[in-house]
Structure 1
Amino acid sequence: MTRTVYVNGDYLPEEDAKVSIFDRGFLMADGVYEVTSVLGGKLIDFDGHAVRLERSLSELDMVNPTNKEELLEIHRELVSRNGIDEGLVYLQITRGAPGDRDFVFPDPETTAPTIVLFTQNKPGLADSPAAKKGMKVISIEDIRWGRRDIKTVQLLYPSMGKMMAKKAGADDAWMIEDGFVTEGTSNNAYIVKDNRIITRALSNDILHGITRAAVLRFAREAQMEVEERSFTIEEARAADEAFITSASSFVMPVVEIDGTVIGDGVPGKVAPRLREIYLDESRKVAI
């Protein structure tokens, strides 16, 4: 069955969807995006993604072609039309297609933003086998631009990082700057030491993860100790546990870093418990 996608106000079969070759998302990576998980046919953390989308657009001085209520309606319509029980909804907004290539931003009065959405069907998303065995990561230098807090479509280096990990027989990469872990290629990074959850504080250096915010809130509500500070890759290798969070992986244990086994080499107690709490609580308020 072909997917129904959304392009600039229209619901279309995916094979009929088209965007101009002059679109600045294509030519300049001048766009932002969000990915919202779907569990039981409902959207997880939608409000958080909508708020972050608005912030990303504002930071780039980009016009929002829609509003939260309309976005929710589009998300729900796509989930319904494509029969998504567990999966993802991808949303991308670019500065539009001015009709030619130019480094200067086009006038928003004459060039409308481009907005596209599509779904990805992911049966078993919440019951991933990887969550039971844990994942392996490698460390790589972080050479991205300085505004990582804006969720842009500039994803070349994260893609290269994932390919470096694949080549090394690992599942993902953690990026390192001045000896400290910033984040994973598409996720926030954590370690656990002496029952303390440690993760880098929010700044321009990392993405302000929506799942991160929820997981840390649930951790504190469960009386877990949370410390928001930078940690080195050496600390990570010596940690009792490690894990990542993201909209598509929720909470995922990390059992090996650069070939060094973390803890006993299997998921510990903290990450699986946080995953359980996150999924339970998020399902309760899904919309």
Structure 2
Amino acid sequence: MSRIAYVNGRFVAKTDAVVHIEDRGYQFADAGYEVWALFGGKLSDPEGHFARLERSLGELRIPMPMSRKALTVVLKETVRRNRVSEGLVYLQVSRGVAPRDHAFPAADTPPAIVITVSRVDREASEARARKGVAVVTTPENRWGRCDIKTVGLLPNAMAKQKAREVGAVEAWFVDDLGLVTEGASSNAWIVDRDGALRTRDTNANILRGVTRLSLLDVARQAGLKVEERPFTPQEALDAQEAFITGAGTLVLPVVLMDGKPIGSGKPGPVAARLRALYIEHAKATAV
């Protein structure tokens, strides 16, 4: 069966899905996006993702293409038509189609919207989590508004390629102060030598990860000591455990950084516990 995409009000076969060459998302990366994990065909962390989408578009001064209620219906219908139970939903909203000019087009230019759905092999994901993954560090070189989830991801793509070329799955950006900010497509965490769970605070130039936010609540409810403060690459190497979070990775243990082992060099009990607790939370709150 052909995969189905939603493009500007129409459901079409993905092979036939196109956007205009003067779409501002293509011309200027003038667009925001959002990604939901699917569990049992339902959207995980719905409130967090909708709230972040609305905030990102608000910061970009792009109007929501439709109400949250209507958008939920369209997202679910796209999932239904693709017959995907476990996977990811990608939504992109651009400022729309207009003659190429750096300044914004007329205020009545309708935003353009694209939705696609992809499958995730949960068994393979669990196997990867049991094994753990590697990350590399790379200098922070992104713009100063990483709190907005935009499609301007060239530095992230180049960082991911750097990681892939050495067999790693993620790159951690390190700022001018020598502190880890976040991953190219995930938030970075450690369990430090004192057993505290640490991740960068959102006053820094990082994306306000929805999985990150939910996991903070999950960890506190589990009685873990949580600190939103930065750490250095050396502190990560000296940590008991490390992991990354995101809609695609969920909670994924990191066992190597720049070719050096973190902790025992194997996934630790805290990350394994948090992964299980987060998946339980995601399934319980999915809509």
TM-score range, shorter chain: over 0.9
What SS does the aligned partner of 2:230 have? Answer: coil
2 CA distance for matches of 1:32 and 1:280?
29
Q: Hey, what does 1:246 align to over in structure 2? A: 246
1:166 partner letter: R
Q: Does 1:174 align with 2:169?
A: no
Distance 1:4 1:132 in 2: 33
1:151 pairs, out of 149, 152, 161, with 149
Tell me the secondary structure at the aligned position of residue 48 of structure 1: helix
Which whole-Å CA distance do the structure 2 matches of 1:159 and 1:128 have between them?
25
Is 1:219–1:274's contact at 8 Å kept on the other side of the alignment? Answer: yes
Amino acid at match of 1:102: D
Using the TM superposition, name which of 209-218 and 165-174 deviates more.
165-174
- Residue of structure 2 in register with 1:24 after alignment: 24
1:15 shift after superposition:
2.2
In the TM superposition, what whole-angstrom CA distance separates every residue of 1:149-176 from its partner, at most 9, and x where no partner exists? 0000011111111110111222211000
Conserved? CA contact 2:181–2:204, under 8 Å: no
Match of 2:198 in 1: 198
Shift of 1:127: 4.4
Report deviation, 1:129: 1.4
> 1:63 touches 1:108 (CA, 8 Å); kept in 2?
no
SS for the counterpart of 1:117 is strand
In the alignment, what sits opposite 2:185? Answer: 186
Once residues 112 and 42 of structure 1 are traced to their aligned partners in structure 2, the CA distance between those partners, rounded to angstroms, is 28
Q: Match for residue 59 of structure 2?
A: 59
Contact conserved, 2:237 with 2:263, CA < 8 A, in 1?
no
Distance 1:146 1:7, change over 3 A: same
What are the Cα deviations for residues 69-117 of structure 1, in whole angstroms up to 9, with x where unaligned? 111111111111111010011000000111x2100100121x1110110
Partner amino acid for 1:80? R
In the alignment, the residues of structure 1 paired with residue 279 and residue 122 of structure 2 have an alpha-carbon distance, to the nearest angstrom, of 13
Q: How many residues align?
A: 285
Deviations 1:163-212 (A, max 9, x none): 10111222211000020000000000011112100111012500000000
Aligned pairs for 1:4-83 within 5 A: 4-83=4-83
AA partner of residue 182 (structure 1): T
Cα distance in 2, alignment partners of residues 228 and 115 from structure 1: 34
- 1:128 partner SS: helix
Structure 1: which 5+ residue stretches go unaligned? none
TM-score normalised according to structure 2 size: 0.97
The one-letter amino acid paired with 2:167 is G
1:277 corresponding residue in structure 2:
277
The separation in 2 between residues aligned to 1:233 and 1:123, in whole angstroms, is 31
Instruction: Supply the distance in 1 between the matched residues of 2:126 and 2:79 (Cα, whole angstroms).
Output: 21
Q: Give me the whole-angstrom Cα distance separating, in 1, the residues matched to 2:43 and 2:82.
A: 14
The separation in 2 between residues aligned to 1:106 and 1:205, in whole angstroms, is: 28
**Which of 96, 117, 120 lines up with 1:119 in the alignment?**
117
2-side partners of 1:166 and 1:248: how far apart? Answer: 17
Q: Tell me, yes or no, if structure 1 residue 259 matches structure 2 residue 259.
A: yes
Does the CA contact (< 8 Å) of 1:196 and 1:224 recur in 2?
Answer: yes
- Distance in 2 between residues matched to 1:151 and 1:216, nearest whole Å: 20
Amino acid at match of 2:145: R
Checking the alignment, whether the CA contact within 8 Å between 1:212 and 1:245 is kept in structure 2 is yes
Q: Please, what TM-score do these two structures have when normalized by structure 1?
A: 0.97
Give me the CA root mean square deviation.
1.1
Aligned residue for 2:89? Answer: 89
The answer for unaligned runs of 5 or more in structure 2 is none
Give the aligned residue type for 2:196: R
- Distance in 2 of aligned mates of 1:125 and 1:152: 30
Q: Any idea what SS the aligned residue of 2:37 has?
A: strand
Distance in 2, matches of 1:247 and 1:50, equals: 14
What's the offset of the Cα at 1:236? 1.0
How many angstroms apart in 2 are the aligned matches of 1:284 and 1:155?
Answer: 32
Task: State whether residues 146 and 204 of structure 1, in contact with CA within 8 Å, keep that contact through their aligned partners in structure 2.
Answer: no
